[in-house]
Amino acid sequence: MRGSTPAPGRLFAHYGGNTSCVAITAADAVDPTLVLDAGTGLNRLSQDLGGRPFRGSILLGHLHWDHTHGLPFFPAGDNPDAEVTLYQPEQGDALEVLSKVISPPHFPITPRELRGSWNFRSLEVGKHDIEGFEVQCLDIPHSGGRTFGFRVSDGISTIAYMSDHGPIALGEGPNGDGEFHEGALELARDADLLIHDAQYTKSEFASRAHFGHSTIDYAIELGKRAGAAKVVLYHHDPSRTDDQIDAIVAVNQHHTVRVIAAAEGLSLDLRNRHHTAVAV
Which residue ranges make up each domain of the chain?
10-279
**Level-2 CATH architecture, domain 10-279:** 4-Layer Sandwich (3.60)
> What letter would DSSP give residue 170?
G
Q: Rounded to whole angstroms, how far apart are CA atoms 213 and 237?
A: 10
Backbone φ and ψ of 45, nearest 5° = -65, -40
The model's pTM: 0.95
Per-residue model confidence as pLDDT tens for the chain (280 residues): 788 888 888 888 899 899 999 999 988 888 999 999 999 999 999 999 999 999 999 999 999 999 999 999 999 999 999 999 999 999 999 999 999 989 999 999 999 999 999 999 999 999 999 999 999 999 999 998 999 999 999 888 999 999 999 999 999 999 999 999 999 999 999 999 999 999 999 999 989 889 889 999 999 999 999 999 999 999 999 999 999 999 999 999 999 999 999 999 998 887 665 445 544 4
Q: Which runs of E-coded beta strand occur in the chain?
A: 22-26, 34-36, 55-59, 83-89, 117-123, 126-130, 133-139, 148-153, 158-162, 193-197, 230-234, 258-261, 267-270, 275-279
